[in-house]
Structure 1
Amino acid sequence: MADTNRGVVYVEPGRVSVEDMPYPTLVLEEQNNRRLQHGAILKVLATNICGSDQHMVRGRTTAPAGLTLGHEITGEVIETGEDVEFIKVGDIVSVPFNIACGRCRNCKEGHTGVCENVNPARAGAAYGYVDMGGWHGGQARYVVVPYADWNLLKIPADRDTVMAKLLDLAMLSDIFPTGYHGAYTAGVTTGSTVYVAGAGPVGLACATACFLLGAAVVIVGDMNKDRLAQASSFGCEIVDLSAHGNLAEEIEHVLGMPEVDAAVDCVGFEARGHGPEGSTTEQPATVLNSLMDATRAAGRVGIPGLYVTGDPGAADEKAKEGTLGIRIGLGWAKSHVFTTGQCPVMRYNRQLMMAILHDRVQIARNVNALVIPLDQAPHGYEEFDRGAAHKYVLDPHGELAGARF
């Protein structure tokens, strides 16, 4: 008999609950009984709360009630479809949050964040996320994954090693590749000076990636003093944007010049203004405009921060449809290069996994990972929403006691 399943469900703005739910099968009733002969069922070993989840839980998207949340998944394969050839039962795997078929033009070109075949509404799909294909989320005890041979990254180490490093490895499904993608597409390299907007988990992961790529100086800006302290703990320079409204001046205090080589937006559409007055009001274009101002001519700007086409809680009518007051003329005049959109996780996750397994990076420590039981997920969401300086990792089966950072 199959084990029971439980998962985190979005109820209404500001509220999630942990509920019993059906054990997953390789036949998807919600998709006209589609048979995933290429799929796998995972026992979830670790699954994280993401800032993108918080946008939904705050009511800032059109997410439907009853949606099972969670797109950051690390698990053990317990069943495979008959067409799965290379992934085996017992493998411990990281699941990219992008759901991809591996067959369409975009997948073949490496753009797995905008797969053409896994979401009938538009290109791109993810687990447990609004408008992303209706796939069940992974903040649960068990989850089903399609196209297993393509999507799953097998972790090539013995079980004891994997479990000891599981907190670090749990960051491979989203935030570490996403932060790396932001830094890489911003052109961060040996000797770069970088400004990272946002000291939440993705911003901290991005700052970690900047150092891994060879940056000389990484400056992190935020309004949350605890999160800024976390950034400072592993060598970042910090700017408290609730106290300082002029970012260029603060960068000059650090570098002796008011511009950086590269900048990364790890905040997204719920940005607030800078300085004592602006920090109390939502100004969704603030970060993008400040990055154009603070990045040198011919510099690059990475934008992994989330921007949406539907925001019911936006401050004005235009922002509700994703129309923001961006100073594109400034970016054009400075010949900036912008990279937006979902991170194509597969482009980076294997390399970052090797850096973790061979102790080249301590990502769980840098993002201040905190393990909590699955049933405490509502408390984790509440604390994260209050600005706690943690990356919350849910432990559905109580197997993370030996994980360390």
Structure 2
Amino acid sequence: MADNRAVAYEGPGKVQVIDTPYPEFELKDGPGVNPANVGRKVPHGVILKTIATNICGSDQHMVRGRTTAPQDLVLGHEITGEVIEVGPDVEFIKVGDICSVPFNISCGRCRNCKERKTGICLNVNPDRPGSAYGYVDMGGWVGGQAQFVLVPYADWNLLKFPDPEQALEKILDLTMLSDILPTGFHGAVTSGVTVGSTVYIAGAGPVGLAAAASALLLGAAVVIVADMNDDRLAQARSFGCETINLTEGDPQDQIEQILGVPEVDCAIDAVGFEAKGHGKDAEEAPATVLNSLMEITRAGGELGIPGLYVTGDPGGIDEAAQKGSLSLSLGTGWAKSLAFTTGQCPVMKYNRQLMMAILYDRIHIAKAVNAKAIPLEDAPKGYAEFDHGAATKFVLDPNGYLGASAA
């Protein structure tokens, strides 16, 4: 049996690379695995040799201790890999295929999956609709920041790249199909971006940058990205965005300076529940972004909310925030007839189209998010740099496909 190395959460602020079992076609007991899922057979699955697996801001929430993630949870839900074993019930995916793995785990059989709502599959997480690899309260499917990973319902879940050689040439772009590019695109689509739109995006992390690139792909006239990190704002400007530094105060006046009016057609929250207030010395205020977006979006506009919100936050600023209960100015949203879309991005709704856009050079997402490949063993360093605001999307290289070498 092959060895396996993986990145695990070891407590607030700490991850390490550990030895972990090679995957089998059965869900075993372990950190974070729902007891009802233990022993679940996966004849419909495949085992991937990981080509690329990325550090995500959602992982960072766990690593900061802002969720109820257990110690030794293997992390990672942004996975691209080569199929090396197939289960007996797999019909169409073959050994040697190079595939993108949607971070949503879905069965393809339930009502929600049949309605393309793969982010809230009813059959893969006994606790609630929706599941993901290596994530707290998501059923316990083992994460993919590892050399090898099990993918269930492979014929349904995997997006096979049509040409392996072409895929490897564009792998830093294609690895973004597992999460951040479809998630950013979902934020843009659900906020109503179309040709000529003016767009405001809160957050210049990788998802915010992916949303900005997606808005431009969809034909937006002006894309304004707001953050408090100068390096991340510079990254947004590098591919044609306007930017706002929120340390300078409320965004409304700055929007008016750019557009001539203090409002936009479409707004996207790419920050989530660890939001801060506006201004130089702003403290955490988790409803800030949502309330701000309602103020600056035109009447009749739409808000896309791919930023993560949780129902359990041990580090929340008060008892309400610890339960995911925020003080929203819903009256503002109602009075302006605003539409809201929240929740996991249903990756399979978009990933094939975005794959084609990458393969035919309509979008260069790796450049937009400043992707950087690093060895798996450097994951703790990557997490630390990302937590300190690096304007970089760290792509882990567990098996040497990307040629990353230790620093």
Q: What interval of TM-score do these two structures reach, taking the shorter chain for normalisation? A: over 0.9
Q: Look up the match of 2:34.
A: none
Q: Look up the match of 2:99.
A: 93
Q: State the identity %.
A: 68
Q: Look up the match of 2:397.
A: 395
Q: Helix, strand or coil for the counterpart of 1:268? A: coil
Give me the whole-angstrom Cα distance separating, in 1, the residues matched to 2:97 and 2:179.
Answer: 20
**Which of 226, 232, 249 pairs up with 2:231?**
226
Amino acid at match of 1:317: E
Q: Look up the match of 2:156.
A: 150
Give me the whole-angstrom Cα distance separating, in 1, the residues matched to 2:250 and 2:59.
Answer: 31
Give me the whole-angstrom Cα distance separating, in 2, the residues matched to 1:389 and 1:315.
Answer: 27
**Which of 186, 189, 203 pairs up with 1:181?**
186
Q: Look up the match of 1:291.
A: 293
Q: Look up the match of 1:67.
A: 73
Give me the whole-angstrom Cα distance separating, in 2, the residues matched to 1:276 and 1:377.
Answer: 31
Give me the whole-angstrom Cα distance separating, in 1, the residues matched to 2:284 and 2:297.
Answer: 23
User: For 1:230-249, what aligned pairs fall within 5 Å after superposition?
Assistant: 230-243=235-248, 245-249=249-253
Amino acid at match of 2:261: M
Amino acid at match of 1:29: K
Displacement of 1:401 in angstroms is: 2.8
Give me the whole-angstrom Cα distance separating, in 1, the residues matched to 2:140 and 2:3.
Answer: 22
Amino acid at match of 1:22: P
Q: Helix, strand or coil for the counterpart of 2:247? A: coil
Q: Look up the match of 2:20.
A: 21
Per-residue CA deviation, residues 231-256 of structure 1 (Å, 9 max, x unaligned), is 0000000000012x121111000000
Q: Look up the match of 2:89.
A: 83
Give me the whole-angstrom Cα distance separating, in 2, the residues matched to 1:233 and 1:32.
Answer: 47
Amino acid at match of 2:252: A
Amino acid at match of 1:323: S
Give me the whole-angstrom Cα distance separating, in 1, the residues matched to 2:27 and 2:318.
Answer: 39
Say how many residue pairs are matched.
397
Give me the whole-angstrom Cα distance separating, in 2, the residues matched to 1:188 and 1:348.
Answer: 15
Q: Look up the match of 1:119.
A: 125
Amino acid at match of 1:103: R
Displacement of 1:182 in angstroms is: 0.2
Residues 1:282 and 2:284 aligned together: yes
Per-residue CA deviation, residues 300-343 of structure 1 (Å, 9 max, x unaligned), is 00000000000000111110001111100000000000000000
Unaligned runs of 5+ in 2: 30-36
Amino acid at match of 1:224: N
Per-residue CA deviation, residues 69-92 of structure 1 (Å, 9 max, x unaligned), is 000000000111111101010000
Q: Look up the match of 1:260.
A: 264
Give me the whole-angstrom Cα distance separating, in 1, the residues matched to 2:96 and 2:7.
Answer: 25
Q: Look up the match of 1:164.
A: 169
Displacement of 1:4 in angstroms is: 1.4
Give me the whole-angstrom Cα distance separating, in 1, the residues matched to 2:74 and 2:38.
Answer: 19
Give me the whole-angstrom Cα distance separating, in 2, the residues matched to 1:63 and 1:251.
Answer: 38
Give me the whole-angstrom Cα distance separating, in 2, the residues matched to 1:53 and 1:108.
Answer: 28
Amino acid at match of 1:373: P
Displacement of 1:32 in angstroms is: 3.5
Give me the whole-angstrom Cα distance separating, in 2, the residues matched to 1:149 and 1:337.
Answer: 35
**Which of 209, 215, 229 pairs up with 1:210?**
215
Q: Look up the match of 2:41.
A: 35
Amino acid at match of 1:343: C
Give me the whole-angstrom Cα distance separating, in 2, the residues matched to 1:372 and 1:27.
Answer: 30
Amino acid at match of 1:267: V
Q: Helix, strand or coil for the counterpart of 2:73? A: coil
Amino acid at match of 2:92: F
Per-residue CA deviation, residues 98-152 of structure 1 (Å, 9 max, x unaligned), is 0000000000001000000000011000000000001100000000000000000
Give me the whole-angstrom Cα distance separating, in 1, the residues matched to 2:156 and 2:182.
Answer: 17
- Larger CA deviation: 30-39 vs 380-389: 30-39
Q: Look up the match of 1:196.
A: 201
Amino acid at match of 1:258: P
Give me the whole-angstrom Cα distance separating, in 2, the residues matched to 1:28 and 1:310.
Answer: 25
Residues 1:325 and 2:316 aligned together: no
**Which of 347, 360, 363 pairs up with 1:361?**
363
Give me the whole-angstrom Cα distance separating, in 2, the residues matched to 1:324 and 1:160.
Answer: 48
Displacement of 1:27 in angstroms is: 2.1
Q: Look up the match of 1:350.
A: 352
Displacement of 1:29 in angstroms is: 2.4
Displacement of 1:34 in angstroms is: 2.2
Decide whether the 8 Å contact of 2:27 with 2:141 is kept in 1: no
Q: Look up the match of 1:269.
A: 273
Give me the whole-angstrom Cα distance separating, in 1, the residues matched to 2:250 and 2:190.
Answer: 25
Give me the whole-angstrom Cα distance separating, in 1, the residues matched to 2:145 and 2:41.
Answer: 22
Give me the whole-angstrom Cα distance separating, in 2, the residues matched to 1:345 and 1:172.
Answer: 8
TM-score by length of 2: 0.97
